[in-house]
Chain A
Amino acid sequence: MTKRVSLLLLFLLIFAAALTLRVSRYDYAMQDRDAIMAPSSAQHSTGTDELGRDRTVRVAAALLIGLAGATVAAAITTMIAASFGLLAAFSPPWLASILLFISDVFLSLPWLFLLMMVRSLLPLTVSPLVTAVATFLVLAVLGWPACARAIYRGAVALRESEWMIHGHACGLRPWQLMRLHLLPHLRPLLLPQFLISVPAFIAAEANLGALGLGVGEPMPSWGSMLLELDNSALLARSHWIYLPIALLVVVLLILDSFTSEVGASA
């Protein structure tokens, strides 16, 4: 699959989800108590869930929330990783050792338990939107160390390059060196790191949500919708219950393919 096909498919999915939310007369939280686990119909094209909520609308909202949250979180984590990696690369050796040690400590932490702990420390009254923001923020804050290691190695290699020495000799200030020389050269490293993080965070949110620790009800998320798959009685009642997992797998495969193509061309 080429980059363009992947991008096109992703764009089509986002467009379809946005259009669904725009034209549907249902809100993702609206309970139709006379249509519990309803089959596909003119009113509910993919049926309803256990509380009579329109499944199409909820899947569309989960797709947009998941993609938007993961993209922002990936951008934040890439920025943290870039800052940390560059700081370590251009610091005195003793400070670089400390910074790398901190990153190693973060890498060795059991991130799932850490996520659960941080998520459970949130105040009880926060709105579902805040829980969504907090969930992705926590992912971003915990997701940078591996990326920072890679950037550190790249920056160290660039630090000793002739054009960096030449820039120093010409009197360029550190921020000018960074903007004009370092970041453009690190771009082939930063972009794949960013792209890898997006599906990783989508999957991480789905895992957290499946543990009941992700985005708060009634806001839909991949994780909360995957919880339905835990119940064979529900699986027997409607095949549309597989829609969220099917779509999630499609989204992850598209992102995975796109990242591979970008990585190969970089």
Chain B
Amino acid sequence: MRSLPRCFLVSLVLPALVAIHAHCQAAARQQGEIAWAIHYDPKTFDPAKVDDQASELVRYLTGGVLLRLNRQTGEPEPQLAESFHVSPQGTLIVFKLRQGLRFSDGSALTSADVAWSLRRVLDPATQAVVAEEFISPAQVTVDTPDKLTVQIHLPKRIVGVGKVFDEIAIEPANRPSEGRVTPGPFTVSDYQRGRYIRLSRNPNYWRRDGAGVQLPYAASLRLDILNNREQEIALFLRGEYDLIDGLSPDYFALVAQRSPQSVHDLGASLNTEQIWFNQSPAAPLPEFEKAWFSNHGFRVAVSEAIHRADLARIAYDGHATPAFGFISPANKTWHNDLLKYPHESVADANRTLAAAGFHRSGNQLYDAAGHLVKFSIVSNAGNAARQKMAAMIQQDLAAIGMQVTIVTLDFPALIERLMHRQDYEACLLGTSNAEEDPSSMMNMWLSSSPNHQWNPSEKTPATTWEAEIDERMQFQASSPSQSDRKAAVDRVQQIVADWQPFIYLVYPNVLQAISPQLRGVKPAILSPGPVWNIEFLRREAADAKEGAR
């Protein structure tokens, strides 16, 4: 105990020394190599079993796929398949493969390899996440009439063919290699757990550029495993990394100050930040609190009291867009431009609360039974922007008499409360949307889903408006008509804006830092961001210098 203050000083100095030491630990760059950081080790290199972001990135960079979704246009583009055809009923898809395809080890790629890879993904034993997109994967059959043709028979039409086949990497039949033998642009050549993954150029990659030069341009890629924003930025500014995807808004100005041509704000992302109240009847909360949270006027008043423009300006340093619905304006195909939503006004919020049976006494708000309105908002620790938003919402809601406590929990503890114990009052979190198509959000909107966060796993919809959301979302997921789908999704957006089960706050902007030495980048907001056209990226200036040596 005697030396605790000194221990405290040491505890301040030690992390700094460790951080300085760690700065020297980026692996040496090989000639023509592009390097950047990912935050966690991939859970798997098996492309069929991918269910986390890091594994998904490795699959994207190494996997050869039949179709690739163009991240700028949103259109599917043939890759290993030279062409594809979907029958009018949507139950037959025929792929025609390119001539002369080879895996990275030189062996030929035929329709047998494609069929084997597809059957493996559809096999329940594989537990492939993408299999869910086929609705009834067990009833899907794959035929190979010849070495270049693959026929897929589906029991039902599937939505977003381009996206589905973008996620299925073709592997050599009966020789799954976890990314070491692929027909994609790169192969896994070296993996040091917790340090880095090195991917080497596939010498047999099928694609060439307009001038006939073999792709990819880069000799190798190095993905350092680094979960430290400060170090990542320091290494980027020192030129040891070529890009940062998902630059934190706090650091945008810092990087812009030191390297103005490196930073890019691509505008609103597809992601949302929102708060919601726990409306689960099974929640261990007092009945009067449950009554508040299921009160439409209460939720609308909260929405009206929050100053979203301030959240975007302060919590995100201006790199966010105020949000009023679950589909971002960046999603031009599906965003409802005619959405009507509660406007920000403290006076309106007070009127809405009065109409809903609440009353003020001094600076405090009471319900009709005289209970003081106070509740907590839980969020996850370690997200600075979210914590700032929570503190600002606390002040905004104080203006309408609500006493709010902010609680930050580590992620496992938070998920335990949300998903299992349902022991929370309100929650502030974000939703990452990797796809534009609203079918990918079904698990959040269907009332029977465990991810229907404000009231999970309902046996039957608790309200008529939830029943209507169920109906419209199921309709859009199976309708062949794009205009009908759009109308259904527009209606769901309006229902959500009217009833405010989620109170949307902001759409964080897509922020990227890209080294000026890195050429060929075509910025895109969809994952994997700046490396979506990885075959065309190269470190031009660096290569020239290295060549001169």
What residues of chain A have their CB less than 8 Å away from a CB belonging to chain B? Answer: 29, 31, 33, 36, 50-52, 120, 124-128, 143, 146-147, 196-197, 199-200, 202-204, 206-207, 212, 216-218, 230-234, 236, 245, 249, 252-253, 255-256
Nearest residue, chain A, Cβ from B229: A231
Q: Point out the residues of chain A lying under 8 angstroms from B288, CB to CB.
A: none
Q: A232-B230, A234-B250 are in contact. Are A51 and B392 (CB under 8 A)?
A: yes
* CB-based contact B405/A125 at 8 Å: yes
Task: Report whether B405 and A127 are in contact in the complex, using a CB–CB cutoff of 8 Å.
Answer: yes
Instruction: Point out the residue from A200, A206, A217 that lies within 8 Å of B391, measured CB to CB.
Output: A217
Whether the pair A125, B375 counts as a contact (CB closer than 8 A) is: yes
Q: Can you name 21 A-B residue pairings with CB atoms under 8 Å?
A: A31-B395, A33-B310, A33-B313, A36-B314, A50-B388, A52-B314, A120-B409, A124-B376, A125-B376, A127-B405, A143-B1, A203-B4, A216-B405, A216-B407, A217-B391, A231-B384, A232-B233, A232-B251, A236-B254, A255-B5, A256-B6
Q: Is the Cβ of A120 less than 8 Å from the Cβ of B8?
A: no
Q: Could you tell me if A245 and B12 are in contact, using CB atoms closer than 8 angstroms?
A: yes
Interface pairs A-B: 9 shortest CB-CB: A203-B8, A200-B4, A124-B376, A252-B5, A233-B254, A212-B381, A199-B5, A233-B250, A233-B251
Closest B-chain residue to A33, C-beta based? B310
Residues in A neighbouring B233, C-beta threshold 8 A: 232
Q: In whole angstroms, how far apart are the Cα atoms of A203 and B3 in the complex? A: 11
B2 within 8 A of A: yes
Contact B1 A33 (CB under 8 A): no
- Within 8 Å by CB of A51, from B2, B8, B388, B424, lies B388
Cβ–Cβ < 8 Å partners of B425 in chain A: 124-125
Interface size on B, residues (CB 8 A): 44
Contact assessment for B250 and A146 in the assembled complex, using a CB-CB cutoff below 8 Å: no
CB of B24 within 8 Å of the partner chain: no
A interface, by DSSP: helix, strand, loop or mixed? Answer: helix
Closest chain B residue, CB of each to CB of A234: B250
Interface string of B89-115 (1 = CB under 8 A from A): 000000000000000000000000000
For B382, the chain A residues whose CB sits under 8 A away are 212
Q: What 0/1 pattern do residues 370 to 414 of B give for CB contact below 8 A with A?
A: 000011101001101001101110110000000101111100010
Contacts of B394 in A (CB 8 A): 217-218
Contact residues of B between 275 and 315, Cβ < 8 Å to A: 310, 313-314
Q: Distance in Å from the Cβ of B12 to the closest Cβ of chain A?
A: 7
Determine the chain B residues whose CB is within 8 A of the CB of A231 once the complex forms.
Answer: 230, 250, 384
Q: How far is the CB of A39 from chain B (nearest CB, A)?
A: 15
- Give min CB distance, A32 to chain B, whole Å: 11
- Decide if A256 touches B5 in the complex (CB within 8 Å): yes
Which chain B positions have C-beta within 8 A of A249?
A: 9
Q: Which residues of the other chain, B, contact A126 by a CB distance below 8 angstroms? A: 405
Contact A200 B250 (CB under 8 A): no
Is B27's beta carbon under 8 Å from chain A? no
Are B5 and A147 touching (Cβ within 8 A)? no
Q: Is B139 interfacial (CB 8 A cutoff)?
A: no
Chain B minimum-CB-distance residue to A120: B413
Instruction: Write out the residue numbers on chain B whose beta carbons fall within 8 Å of the beta carbon of A233.
Output: 250-251, 253-254
Across the two chains, which residue of chain B brings its CB closest to A204? B4
Set B1, B8, B424: member contacting A196, Cβ < 8 A: B1
B4-47 interface (Cβ within 8 A of A): 4-9, 11-12
Shortest CB distance A217–B (Å):
5
Partner of B314, one of A51, A146, A206, A218: A51
Q: Which of B314, B388, B395, B405 contacts A29 (CB 8 A)?
A: B395
Among B254, B314, B381, contact of A33 (Cβ-Cβ < 8 Å): B314
Measured between C-beta atoms, what is the minimum distance from B238 to chain A in Å? Answer: 14
| Nearest-Cβ distance from residue A146 to partner chain B, whole angstroms | 6
| Contact yes or no, A203 B5, CB < 8 A | yes
Query: With A124-B405, A232-B230, A252-B8 in contact, is A197–B1 under 8 Å at CB?
Result: yes
| Most chain B beta-carbon contacts within 10 A, residue among A146, A147, A236, A245 | A236
Complex Cα distance A203/B395, Å?
29
The CA of A127 and the CA of B384, in the complex, are separated in Å by: 21
User: A residues within 8 A CB of B405?
Assistant: 124-128, 216
- Of all chain A residues, the one with the shortest Cβ separation from B384 is A231
Complex: how many Å from CA A230 to CA B6?
Answer: 20
Expressed in whole angstroms, the Cα–Cα distance for A231 and B250 within the complex equals 8
B5 touches A124 (CB 8 A): no
Contacts of A120 in B (CB 8 A): 409, 413
User: Closest CB-CB distance, A118 to chain B, in whole Å?
Assistant: 14
Contacts of B11 in A (CB 8 A): 207
Contacts of A245 in B (CB 8 A): 12
**Cβ of A256: which chain B residues have Cβ within 8 Å of it?**
5-6
Asked if residues A200 and B1 are in contact (CB atoms below 8 Å), the reply is yes
Contacts of B251 in A (CB 8 A): 232-233
Check A217–B406 contact: CB distance below 8 A.
yes
Contacts of B6 in A (CB 8 A): 256
A residues in contact with B253, CB < 8 Å: 233
For residue B310, which residues in chain A have a CB less than 8 angstroms away from its CB? Answer: 33
CB contact list, B411-431 vs A, under 8 A: 413, 423-425
Are A203 and B7 in contact (CB-based, < 8 A)? yes
B436 to A: closest C-beta gap in Å = 31
User: In the assembled complex, which residues on chain A have CB atoms less than 8 Å from the CB atom of B5?
Assistant: 199-200, 202-203, 252-253, 255-256
Which residues on B sit within 8 Å (CB–CB) of A51? Answer: 314, 388, 391-392
Docked pose: A33 CA to B307 CA in angstroms: 11
Residue of B5, B381, B394 with most chain A CB atoms under a 10 A cut-off:
B5
**In the bound complex, what is the Cα–Cα distance between A50 and B387 (angstroms)?**
11
CA A73 to CA B159, docked complex, whole Å: 62
A107 to B: closest C-beta gap in Å: 11
| CA distance in complex: A255, B11 (Å) | 18
CA A233 – CA B319 in complex, angstroms?
Answer: 15
Least CB separation from B16: chain A residue: A229
Chain A residues near B314 (CB, 8 Å)? 33, 36, 50-52
Asked if B413 and A124 make an inter-chain contact with CB atoms under 8 angstroms apart, the answer reads no
Q: Which among B6, B254, B381, B407 has the greatest number of chain A C-beta atoms within 10 A?
A: B407
The docked-state distance in angstroms from the alpha carbon of A132 to that of B253 is 35
Chain A residues lying within 8 Å of B2, measured Cβ to Cβ, are: 196
Q: Chain B residues near A236 (CB, 8 Å)?
A: 254, 257
Chain B hits for A52, CB < 8 A: 314
Question: What's the least CB distance linking A199 to chain B, in Å?
Answer: 5
A231 to B15, CA, bound (A): 13
Please measure, in the bound complex, the distance between the C-alpha atom of A36 and the C-alpha atom of B251, giving whole angstroms. 16
| Beyond A147-B1, A217-B391, 4 extra complex contacts between A and B, CB < 8 Å | A51-B314, A125-B376, A125-B425, A256-B6
- CB-CB nearest in chain A for B12: A245
Q: Chain B, 357-378, contact with A by CB distance < 8 Å: what is the 0/1 string?
A: 0000000000000000011101
The distance in angstroms between the C-alpha atoms of A218 and B407, with both chains bound, is 11
Q: A200-B1, A233-B251 are in contact. Are A218 and B391 (CB under 8 A)?
A: yes
B408 contacts A206, CB within 8 Å?
Answer: no
